[in-house]
C-alpha cells in the first residue's frame, strides 16, 4: 500500500520534473549560448581535418541517440564516412562558472587521446570532456571558474577515424546543466533502491544536498522488471532533503521505480546464491575490482575495494568496505569513499596515522587515512587523475573527504593508485604512485598531506604499486624492500626512504588471474598479508561480479635457484574453516587411478607427490584437471602453466577449491596459480592418475572447508 502511494507520488514528481525540463530548456536562453547548431551559419568556426563544418540534421540521428535539441548538432562521424580533425569555435570571453553542452560519442576508453570536447586558452588545452558513454546523450560540463575573464575557444577534437562525437547546445552558466529526470527525497528511510537492468544503458546521476553535489553514480537501467535492486544507504542524510538528478535529457526507463525503503528486495538470498564463493570475499551485489585501503587497526582487518554499487559493470568507482577480526569472516559495511564531483574514486592504500602526523585526530582513536585517485571523465565536470585523501576519526566507521583535495595534482599520463606506508628507519611516510607506461614515482612526507617526489623507478608493470619490507630467509638482520606492480611483477632492493636501489631482475610468483594485489598496512607481528583481485568472473548471470583472492602470507626466501623470491601461502587463519578430513600416506598411482574415499564441494587439499623422470601426475578435482609434468617441472590447469623452482621428484602442492575458483600453491608458495573457474556443482569426485610412469603420493591430507559466510 505504502509502496503504491510512493510510486504515485514519484510519478507526479516525474511529471513535475519533465515540466522542469522544459523550463530548463527555456532557461538556456537566459544563459549565454555559444552554439546550438540550429542554423547553417557557422561563421567564425574553423576545421583542420576533413570533418564537415556543417551542422548535421538532428532528425537523421538514429533513435538510440535521442535527446539532442533543435534541428542541428555537430557530428564528427556518426553515419558519415570516416572523418577526423579539430573543429574550433570563434573566441568568446568566459564569464560564468561552467560551460555545459549535450554530448555523446562512441569512445569510452581512450577518450582523452582520441575524442573529446575541450576548452583552449592561448593555444593551450585547459579542460577537456570526453563523452562518458554511448549512448545515452548526456549533459556534459567543464568547470571553467578559474578562467573567468579570459578569452577562450571551444574545440571538438576527434583524432580517430573509428570514433565520433556529437555535440549540441553549448552554453555558459553558473549552474550545472540539469537532466530531465529529477526527484526530491526527504530522507527518512534507510535506503534508496534503484532498479538495475544488467546490460542496460548506463545513466549518470548526482545527488545534491543544499545545492552541493554530494555524490555521483551510474546506474544500469532499462525497460521492464529490473534484474535486481541496487541499494544506497541514505542514513547519513536522515531528515534532510536531497535531490536526485540525472545528466540525461531524455526520460530514463525505470526512473519512476526509484524509491526509498527500509529493506532491500531479495536480501534473503544474499550469500545463499549457488554461485557465491564460500571463502573468497565478494560484495553482496554489483561489481568489484582491486583491493584498496587494506589496513589493520584495533583488532580489525579493513578490506576496502573498488566497487560500483549500482551495476555489474566497472563504471564509476566507490570504495566498498568490509571488516574482519580473522581474515576469514567478513562483514560488509557501506562504502567508505563515494564519488562526488572530484570524480571516480580509483585505487589506493590506507594507513593508521599512529603519531597524528596529519593532525586530523579528534578523539582517542588514531586517524585512518585513505589515499585514492580522483579519476577522469566519469563525473561532471570531468577531470584528470589527481590524488586525494579521505579519513576516519572513529576507527573506520565513518569517513570524511579531506577539505583541500586533491593533495597531489595531475603529474602525467595515467598517474594513479597512491599507496602509502611508514618507513621506520627514515621516520617518513612513503607513497608509491603509478605514473604511466612502466614508470612509478616514490614520494615522502612528514604529515601525510604534503608530498615530495624523491625517485622514479621503471619496472615491467603498470598500475597499483605496493612497497613492503621483509626478512630475507627469516633473518631480521637481512631485510629487503620489495617494489610491487599491478600485474604481480616485483623487484627486490634497498630503500632508504628516498631512493629505491633495485637489485637484479623483476620476478613473479603469482600467475593466472591475480591482479592489483595489495598488502595490509600495520599488520601485527610484522606480517605481510596480501589480497589480489581475481580479474575474471566465471558466472555471467550473477548479480555480484568478481571476487578477491584469499589472504596470503608473503615471505621472502632464497629460491632453489639462488635468488630472493617472494613466497605466497594461505594465511594460517584459513585453517579455521577446515572440518571433515581424510588422510593417507604412501599411495602409489599406476595403471589404475586412485580415488580417495572422500567427497566435498569446498576443498583444501595438501599433497606431497613423488613423480619419476618423464612422469606425469594428473589430479582431477571435481572435474578440473591439474597436471604435474616432471619433465617440464610444471603445474598446469585450464591452459595456465607455471614452471616450478624446486627441482627433483618430490613436489608439494596445496590446492584450494571454492565454487568459483581453484588456487594452487606450489612448494610452500614459490609459485601460486589463481584460477577463477565455474565449478561443476554436482561433481565432487577426486581422482589421481598418471601417464609415462608410476607416481607416488607420499602424503595426502584433504579437508572439507566450511563456508565463511555461515554465522
Contacting ligand FRU within 327-356 (CB under 6 A): 346-347
Minimum Å gap between C-beta 285 and ligand FRU is 17
- Interface of this chain with ligand FRU, residues 596 to 625, rule: CB under 6 A: none
Least separation in angstroms between CB 314 and ligand FRU: 6
Between 118 and 317, CB nearer to ligand FRU: 317
Beta strand 212-221 with 259-261 is: unpaired
- Contact pick of 24, 317, 376, 659 for ligand FRU (by CB under 6 A): 317
Nearer to ligand FRU, 436 or 687 (CB): 436
Phi, psi of 608, deg, nearest 5:
-110, 120
Residue 487 beta carbon to ligand FRU: minimum distance, rounded to whole angstroms:
10
Count the site residues for ligand FRU by CB under 6 A. Answer: 14
Closer residue to ligand FRU, CB minimum distance, 200 or 465: 465
Residue 200 vs 339, nearer CB to ligand FRU: 339
- The 3-state secondary structure of 228-273, one letter per residue: EEEEEECHHHCCCEEEEEECCCCCCCCHHHCEEECCCCCHHHCCCC
Q: x/- site string to ligand FRU, residues 169 to 208, per CB under 6 A?
A: ----------------------------------------
What is the spatial distance between Cα 317 and Cα 309, in angstroms, rounded to a whole number?
8
Q: Considering beta carbons, is residue 395 or 486 the nearer one to ligand FRU?
A: 486
Q: Which of 106, 306, 382, 530 binds ligand FRU (CB under 6 A)?
A: 306
CB 245 within 8 A of CB 208: yes
Q: How far is the CB of 373 from ligand FRU (least distance, A)?
A: 6
Collapsing DSSP to helix, strand or coil, 378 comes out as: helix
- CB of 183: closest distance to ligand FRU in angstroms? 29
Query: Which CB atom, from 253 or from 314, has the smaller least distance to ligand FRU?
Result: 314
The answer to whether 515 touches 486, Cβ cutoff 8 Å, is yes
CB nearer to ligand FRU: give 158 or 290: 290
Find the shortest distance in angstroms from Cβ 348 to ligand FRU: 8
What is the H or E stretch that residue 3 is in?
A: helix 2-30
Pattern 128-167, binding to ligand FRU, x per CB under 6 A? ----------------------------------------
Among 142, 388, 464, 666, binds ligand FRU (CB under 6 A): 464
What is the C-alpha radius of gyration for the chain, rounded to an integer number of angstroms?
28
Footprint on residues 482-501 left by ligand FRU (CB under 6 A): 486
> Applying CB under 6 A, does 307 fall inside the site for ligand FRU?
no
Secondary structure (3-state) at 174 = coil
Touching ligand FRU, residues 395-434 (CB under 6 A): 416-417
Q: Tell me the C-alpha distance between 417 and 439, whole Å.
A: 13
Nearer to ligand FRU, 255 or 515 (CB): 515
Contacts to ligand FRU from residues 262-291, by CB under 6 A: 289-290
CB of 534 to ligand FRU, least distance (A): 12
Residue 516 interacting with ligand FRU (CB under 6 A): yes
Coil, helix or strand at residue 225 = coil
Q: How far apart are alpha carbons 323 and 599 in whole angstroms? A: 32
Sheet containing 228-233, strands listed edge to edge, beginning at the edge strand earlier in sequence: 228-233, 191-196, 259-261
- 294/351 Cα distance (integer angstroms): 8
Which residue number, 76 or 547, has a Cβ lying nearer to ligand FRU? 547
Q: For cell 605514473, name the residue.
A: 435
Task: Answer yes or no: are the C-beta atoms of 217 and 193 closer than 8 Å.
Answer: no
Q: How far is the CB of 375 from ligand FRU (least distance, A)?
A: 7
CB 287 within 8 A of CB 313: yes
373 vs 689, beta carbon nearer ligand FRU: 373
Q: Does 659 bind ligand FRU (CB under 6 A)?
A: no
At its nearest, how many Å lie between ligand FRU and the CB of residue 52? 37
State which residue, 548 or 702, has the beta carbon closest to ligand FRU: 548
What is the Cα–Cα distance from 447 to 398, expressed in whole angstroms?
22
Among residues 284 and 307, whose Cβ is nearest to ligand FRU?
307
Which residue's Cβ lies closest to ligand FRU? 346
Q: For ligand FRU, which residue of 208, 233, 273, 463 counts as binding (CB under 6 A)? A: 463
- Contact pattern from residue 362 through residue 391 relative to ligand FRU, giving x for each residue in contact according to CB under 6 A and a dash for the rest: -----------x------------------
For 281, 583, 675, the CA distances from 624, given in Å and listed in that order, are 22, 21, 11
Residue-by-residue DSSP string for 4-63: HHHHHHHHHHHHHHHHHHHHHHHHHHHSEEEE---SS--TT-EESSS---SPEEGGGS-T
Q: Are 228 and 309 in contact (CB under 8 A)?
A: no
Query: Contact, 131 vs 188, CB < 8 A?
Result: no
Stretch (H or E) spanning 375: strand 367-375
- Would you say 412 or 446 has its CB closer to ligand FRU? 412
CA 532, 536, 537: angle at the middle one, nearest 5?
110
Residue span 46-85 as binding mask against ligand FRU, x where in contact by CB under 6 A, dash where not: ----------------------------------------
3-class DSSP assignment, residue 420: strand
The enclosing H or E element of 302 equals strand 300-308
DSSP letter, residue 322: E
Q: Least Å distance between CB 292 and ligand FRU? A: 8
Shortest separation between residue 420's beta carbon and ligand FRU, angstroms: 15
DSSP conformational letter for 211: T
Instruction: Tell me whether residue 107 or residue 373 sits nearer to ligand FRU (CB atom).
Output: 373
Q: Are strands 475-484 and 466-472 parallel, antiparallel or unpaired?
A: antiparallel
Output 155 or 466, the one with its CB closest to ligand FRU.
466
Give the nearest distance from C-beta 533 to ligand FRU in angstroms.
7
Based on the number of CB atoms within 10 Å of its own CB, is 96 exposed (0-12), middle (13-18) or buried (19 or more)? Answer: middle
> Is 486 or 676 the residue whose CB approaches ligand FRU more closely?
486
Q: Tell me how far, at minimum, the Cβ of 111 lies from ligand FRU, in Å.
A: 15
Instruction: Please report where in the chains the cell 633473518 appears, as a residue.
Output: 475
- Provide the binding-site residues for ligand FRU, judged by CB under 6 A: 289-290, 306, 317, 346-347, 373, 416-417, 463-464, 486, 515-516
Amino acid at each position: 500500500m505504502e509502496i503504491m502511494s510512493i510510486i504515485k507520488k514519484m510519478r507526479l514528481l516525474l511529471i513535475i520534473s519533465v515540466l522542469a525540463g522544459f523550463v530548463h530548456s527555456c532557461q538556456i536562453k537566459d544563459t549565454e549560448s555559444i552554439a546550438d547548431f540550429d542554423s547553417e551559419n557557422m561563421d567564425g568556426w574553423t576545421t583542420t581535418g576533413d570533418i564537415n563544418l556543417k551542422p548535421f540534421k538532428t532528425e537523421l540521428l538514429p533513435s538510440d541517440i535521442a535527446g539532442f535539441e533543435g534541428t542541428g548538432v555537430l557530428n564528427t562521424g556518426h553515419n558519415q564516412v570516416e572523418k577526423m580533425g579539430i573543429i574550433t569555435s570563434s573566441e568568446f570571453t568566459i564569464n560564468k562558472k561552467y560551460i555545459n553542452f549535450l554530448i555523446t560519442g562512441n569512445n569510452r576508453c581512450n577518450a582523452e587521446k582520441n575524442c573529446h570536447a575541450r576548452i583552449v586558452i592561448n593555444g593551450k588545452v585547459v579542460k577537456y570532456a570526453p563523452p562518458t558513454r554511448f549512448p545515452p546523450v548526456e549533459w556534459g560540463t567543464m568547470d571553467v571558474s578559474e578562467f573567468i575573464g579570459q578569452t577562450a575557444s571551444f574545440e571538438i577534437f576527434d583524432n580517430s577515424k573509428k570514433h565520433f562525437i556529437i555535440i549540441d547546445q553549448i552554453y555558459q552558466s553558473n549552474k550545472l546543466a540539469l537532466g530531465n529526470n529529477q526527484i526530491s527525497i526527504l530522507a527518512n528511510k534507510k535506503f534508496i533502491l534503484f532498479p538495475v537492468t544488467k546490460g542496460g544503458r548506463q545513466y549518470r546521476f548526482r545527488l545534491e544536498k543544499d545545492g552541493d553535489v554530494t555524490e555521483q553514480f551510474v546506474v544500469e537501467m532499462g525497460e521492464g522488471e529490473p534484474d535486481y535492486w541496487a541499494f544506497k544507504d541514505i542514513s547519513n542524510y536522515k531528515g534532510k532533503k536531497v535531490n536526485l538528478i540525472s545528466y540525461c535529457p531524455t526520460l530514463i526507463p525505470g526512473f519512476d521505480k526509484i524509491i526509498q525503503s527500509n529493506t532491500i528486495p531479495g536480501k534473503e538470498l544474499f550469500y545463499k546464491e549457488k554461485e557465491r564463493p564460500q571463502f573468497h570475499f565478494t560484495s553482496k551485489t554489483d561489481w568489484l575490482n582491486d583491493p584498496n585501503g587494506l589496513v589493520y587497526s584495533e583488532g580489525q582487518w579493513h578490506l576496502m575495494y573498488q566497487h560500483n554499487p549500482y551495476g555489474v559493470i566497472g563504471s564509476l568507482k566507490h570504495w566498498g568496505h568490509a571488516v574482519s577480526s580473522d581474515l576469514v569472516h567478513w562483514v560488509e559495511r557501506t562504502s567508505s569513499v563515494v564519488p562526488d564531483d572530484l570524480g571516480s574514486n580509483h585505487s589506493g592504500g590506507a594507513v593508521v596515522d599512529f603519531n597524528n602526523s596529519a593532525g586530523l585526530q579528534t578523539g582517542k582513536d588514531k586517524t585512518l587515512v585513505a589515499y585514492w585517485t580522483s579519476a577522469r571523465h566519469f563525473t561532471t565536470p570531468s577531470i584528470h587523475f589527481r590524488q586525494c585523501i579521505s579519513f576516519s576519526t572513529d576507527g573506520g566507521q565513518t569517513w570524511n573527504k579531506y577539505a583541500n583535495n586533491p593533495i597531489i595534482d595531475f603529474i602525467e599520463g595515467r598517474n594513479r593508485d597512491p599507496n602509502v606506508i611508514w618507513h621506520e628507519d627514515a621516520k617518513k611516510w612513503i607513497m608509491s604512485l603509478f605514473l604511466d607506461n612502466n614508470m612509478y614515482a616514490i614520494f615522502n612526507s612528514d604529515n601525510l598531506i604534503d608530498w615530495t617526489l624523491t625517485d622514479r623507478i621503471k619496472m615491467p608493470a603498470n598500475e597499483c604499486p605496493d612497497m613492503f619490507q621483509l626478512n630475507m630467509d627469516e633473518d631480521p638482520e637481512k631485510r629487503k624492500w620489495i617494489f610491487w606492480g599491478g600485474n604481480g611483477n616485483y623487484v627486490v632492493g634497498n630503500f632508504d626512504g628516498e631512493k629505491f636501489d633495485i637489485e637484479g631482475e623483476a620476478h613473479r610468483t603469482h600467475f593466472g588471474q591475480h591482479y592489483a594485489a595489495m598488502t595490509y598496512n600495520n599488520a601485527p607481528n610484522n606480517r605481510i598479508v596480501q589480497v589480489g583481485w581475481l580479474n575474471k568472473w566465471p558466472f555471467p548471470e550473477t548479480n555480484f561480479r568478481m571476487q578477491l583472492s584469499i589472504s596470503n602470507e608473503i615471505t621472502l626466501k632464497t629460491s632453489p635457484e639462488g635468488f630472493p623470491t617472494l613466497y605466497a601461502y594461505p594465511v594460517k587463519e584459513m585453517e579455521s574453516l577446515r572440518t571433515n578430513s581424510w588422510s593417507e600416506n604412501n599411495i602409489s598411482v599406476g595403471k589404475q587411478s586412485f580415488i580417495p574415499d572422500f567427497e566435498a564441494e569446498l576443498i583444501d587439499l595438501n599433497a606431497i607427490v613423488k613423480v619419476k623422470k618423464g612422469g606425469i601426475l594428473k589430479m582431477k578435482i571435481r572435474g578440473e584437471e591439474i597436471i604435474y609434468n616432471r619433465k617440464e617441472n610444471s603445474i598446469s590447469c585450464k591452459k595456465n602453466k607455471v614452471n616450478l623452482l624446486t627441482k627433483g621428484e618430490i613436489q608439494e602442492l596445496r590446492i584450494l577449491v571454492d565454487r568459483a575458483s581453484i588456487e594452487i600453491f606450489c612448494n610452500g608458495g614459490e609459485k601460486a596459480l589463481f584460477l577463477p573457474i565455474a565449478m561443476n556443482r554436482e561433481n565432487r569426485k577426486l581422482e589421481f592418475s598418471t601417464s609415462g610412469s608410476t607416481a607416488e603420493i607420499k602424503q595426502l591430507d584433504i579437508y572439507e572447508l566450511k563456508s565463511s559466510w555461515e554465522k
